[in-house]
Amino acid sequence: MAYPNTQSGRPTMPRLADWLARWPAFQPWHMTPLLVLLIVVTIPLLWMSLMAASDLRVDVGIWGDHTYLSGVHDIERSSSEDYRWTTDRAELVLPNLSNRYRVLELRAHGWRPDEQASPLVRVDVDGTPIAEIQTTPELRVYQVLLPESTNSPVLRIGFESDIYAPTGDSRQIGFAIDWIALHALGQTAPPSLWHLVSQMILLSLLAVLIRMLVIPRGWSVGAMALLCGGVVWANMQQPLWISQAITHWLLVTILLLFTTWWLAPRLHKMLSPWMSSPQAGVALALFIVALTLRLSGSSHPLFNSRDVDVHMRWLDIVEQGQLYLYSTPGELRNQQTFNPPAGYILLMPFTLVLPSSRLVVQMGVGLIDAIGCLLLLPIARELRLPARAALLAMALYIALPINTTMLWWGFATNALAQTLWLLLLWLLLRLVRKPDRTTLASFVVVSAVTLMTHVGALVLLIAIIGFCVVFGWRAMPPDGRRALVLGLVLALLVVVPIYFTAAAGPILAQPRDGAGFDLNASLAKGWADRELRMSLISRGFMIAFLAPVLALAPFGIGKLLTARERHPLQGTLVIGWIVVCVTFILVYMSLGYMTRYIYFITPLVCLAVGALLATIQQRNVGRLVALVLVLFVIWSGSSLWSEGVLLRVKPSLVSLTH
């Protein structure tokens, strides 16, 4: 495939006409006929699937009801049901999938104390009153016939009721809702034109994206068939999932199209001649897969990462100009500690284009985490790995359960620090091998930003870089040695004063009492619980990295250590990486700290297994083995991620919070 010409060694932005003329995806005679055929065949399936569900149901009091129901209080639970009390006005907003769904059912009660009458509930559709419901103190099911809907994409049903203020409670409550459902009348009615057309547009844009990636025909057709089948399946199983997210996914797909157009010539040039043109195309396709997986989940209205509220609050504080953040984490015995703000500063540009802090945190972290996948390529190149090994490592890194687990938990600054560490590692390897002013300046800036992103990352990075400097000193060339020391000194000159002024005063000012940290007691407890903690760590590694990957990792690490052509720091880096991670596990075993930092070894595991699989691929059955393993990892991580997004199922049992 031909890409736009370059001038002065730098790719230029092509004119639209040139791009359309050069890109096969926009030439009808080059468009894969099977992709078009798949979309045509899918249209009647979309039509039928949008009307397949006999009812649309919202279980109030279960995770996700907040995306449909507003004007209600927090979830309450009894022995038999989960429910919410309404305020004076509650509103239910559901996708208007078809005119078939005209019977509104709700299970509710209007309990009042003593002899007070239960409230009268007035029901309206799009602001037009249609019915009144006299509630009773006991739970019962109420039915209301809705008028024929309009062509609006959503159906808004309002509930107004008299309110009651319980004694000693600041709330004003209306009536309690257990569940709400829309039932089909059985009459023949077409699906909503808006939802049908929007899904057709989504699949068409995805077909264009697949064709732009210029991947082999078999993979293109397989991917398109999977996407079409996934949309039809979602409509049949739970139409509210995809209907709620369709606008977000259309915007994400447009972003992916622009990214592919802009990045393709630059990535090909950056990876040449290490990678052939087809291999660079695979790298681009893998990066787009990483973006698709992360952004489609992070943008879904049903998904709130577990810790997103904390990061939203801190992001708002940083936006107001406060850069000194403090918390009392459990792993530090609830002692006040400084939380560096660099991660939130990196997320701030996203506030210019995203409408809410929730999307800024989740999509910003997802985007930067996907960039971390791409950074494995230049690191592998510095380590003298073959291009095929780098692609395999990147494919594994995209969807290992440990990565989807981090995103589900919402370890925002941890994920940002991981990507920054990969960028820093690439610059470190490049600076040692071939120092120059540009690389040195970049190393200083990235070092300072990385060390100011997360305290845990600060400790990890200082440990591993210190290990490389001490034990790899003699292996480094003199110019690289001097450049590395200079870069570290300059970075520390920036970081140390900030940490001292921000952290030293508040920490020293904390009152000291007799309930401080008891090292002997902690060690004794760690020894007594050693079997439980070891089982948690073992289970965490097994589920986080999957058994086949863990089984191959030691052999891959051995290959990295014994490679004939390698970077001067390669052996020291690999050993130091392992030593630092093992040390943190021993700290957990001894002191009971958290094990969330096991994610730090993920890039090394992927690079090692990728190097081994690249060697195995040279044999007859090696390609099949590598392909099956990569597809297994991607399927595992993707399915766990989708369940975590839509069903609030914890993506893995990795012991991140024990």
Q: Which of 470, 287, 398, 349 is nearest to 641 (CA)?
A: 398
What pLDDT is recorded for position 506?
60
How many whole angstroms separate alpha carbon 552 and alpha carbon 613? 9
Q: By the 8 A CB rule, do 159 and 90 touch?
A: yes
Q: Which of 386, 392, 347, 354 is nearest to 373 (CA)?
A: 392
Q: Which of 106-115, 252-261, 331-340 shows the highest mean pLDDT?
A: 252-261
Scan for tokens 């929730």, then name that residue: 358
State mean pLDDT over 103-111: 93
pLDDT in tens, 442-497: 999 999 999 999 887 888 889 999 999 999 999 999 999 999 999 999 999 998 88
Is residue 552 exposed (0-12), middle (13-18) or buried (19+ Cβ within 10 Å)? buried
Lowest mean pLDDT among 44-48, 326-330, 548-552, 598-602: 326-330
pLDDT at residue 268 tops 90: yes
Helix, strand counts (H, E) of the chain: 22, 13
Q: By the 8 A CB rule, do 178 and 60 touch?
A: yes
What pLDDT is recorded for position 530?
76
How many whole angstroms separate alpha carbon 413 and alpha carbon 151? 43
Query: pLDDT class for 510, splitting at 50, 70, 90?
Result: low
What pLDDT is recorded for position 85?
95
pLDDT at residue 576 tops 60: yes
CA 304 to chain centre: 10
Q: Which of 179, 139, 172, 178 is nearest to 73 (CA)?
A: 172
What pLDDT is recorded for position 657?
42
State mean pLDDT over 79-107: 90
Average pLDDT, the chain: 86
pLDDT at residue 228 tops 50: yes
Number of alpha carbons in the 13 Å side-chain half-sphere of residue 203: 28
pLDDT at residue 595 tops 60: no
What pLDDT is recorded for position 23?
47
- % pLDDT > 90, the chain: 54
Q: Which of 386, 353, 292, 305 is nearest to 613 (CA)?
A: 386
Amino acid at position 413, single letter: T
Phi, psi (degrees; rounded to nearest 5) at 294 = -75, -45
What pLDDT is recorded for position 16?
45
Phi, psi (degrees; rounded to nearest 5) at 385 = -80, 150
What pLDDT is recorded for position 648?
73
Query: pLDDT class for 505, splitting at 50, 70, 90?
Result: low
Beta-carbon contacts of 596 under 8 Å, excluding residues fewer than 6 positions away, are: 411, 414, 456, 656, 657
Extract the tokens encoding 348. Answer: 């701030």
What pLDDT is recorded for position 338?
75
pLDDT in tens, 37-59: 899 999 999 999 988 888 889 99
What pLDDT is recorded for position 322?
83
Q: Which of 90, 112, 106 is nearest to 160 (CA)?
A: 90
Q: Which of 645, 524, 622, 606 is nearest to 286 (CA)?
A: 606
What pLDDT is recorded for position 25?
44
pLDDT at residue 561 tops 90: yes
Angle subtended by helix axes 239-271 and 193-212, to nearest 10:
20
What pLDDT is recorded for position 470?
94
Query: pLDDT class for 504, splitting at 50, 70, 90?
Result: low
Sequential DSSP letters for 330-373: GGGTT--EEE--HHHHHHGGGGGT-SSHHHHHHHHHHHHHHHHH
Q: By the 8 A CB rule, do 415 and 369 touch?
A: yes
Residue 82's beta-bridge partner residues? Answer: 77
Query: pLDDT class for 20, splitting at 50, 70, 90?
Result: very low
Q: Which of 49, 375, 34 is nearest to 218 (CA)?
A: 34
Query: pLDDT class for 656, splitting at 50, 70, 90?
Result: very low
Strand 128-134 relative to strand 55-59, pairing:
unpaired
CA dihedral 39, 43, 45, 50 (to 10 degrees): 130
Q: Which of 567, 555, 566 is nearest to 612 (CA)?
A: 555
CA 394 to chain centre: 16
Query: pLDDT class for 337, splitting at 50, 70, 90?
Result: confident
DSSP 8: T
DSSP 149: P
**Cβ atoms within 10 Å, residue 178:** 20
Amino acid at position 588, single letter: Y
Lowest mean pLDDT among 102-111, 506-515, 532-541: 506-515
How many whole angstroms separate alpha carbon 357 and alpha carbon 355? 7
- % pLDDT > 70, the chain: 88
Amino acid at position 311, single letter: H
pLDDT at residue 633 tops 50: yes
pLDDT at residue 230 tops 90: yes
Lowest mean pLDDT among 9-18, 219-228, 488-497: 9-18
pLDDT at residue 2 tops 90: no
Query: pLDDT class for 328, splitting at 50, 70, 90?
Result: low
Q: By the 8 A CB rule, do 282 and 215 touch?
A: yes
pLDDT in tens, 141-177: 999 999 987 778 889 999 999 998 888 888 899 999 9
pTM comes to 0.89
Q: By the 8 A CB rule, do 175 and 110 touch?
A: yes
Query: pLDDT class for 650, splitting at 50, 70, 90?
Result: low
How many whole angstroms separate alpha carbon 654 and alpha carbon 404? 11
How many whole angstroms separate alpha carbon 497 and alpha carbon 25? 53
What pLDDT is recorded for position 347?
95
How many whole angstroms separate alpha carbon 499 and alpha carbon 446? 17
**Could you tell me the domains of the chain?**
18-50+193-261 (no CATH), 55-184 (2.60.120.260), 302-306+360-509+519-647 (no CATH)
**Cβ atoms within 10 Å, residue 622:** 14
Radius of gyration in angstroms for the set of CA atoms belonging to the chain, rounded to a whole number: 28
pLDDT at residue 596 tops 70: no
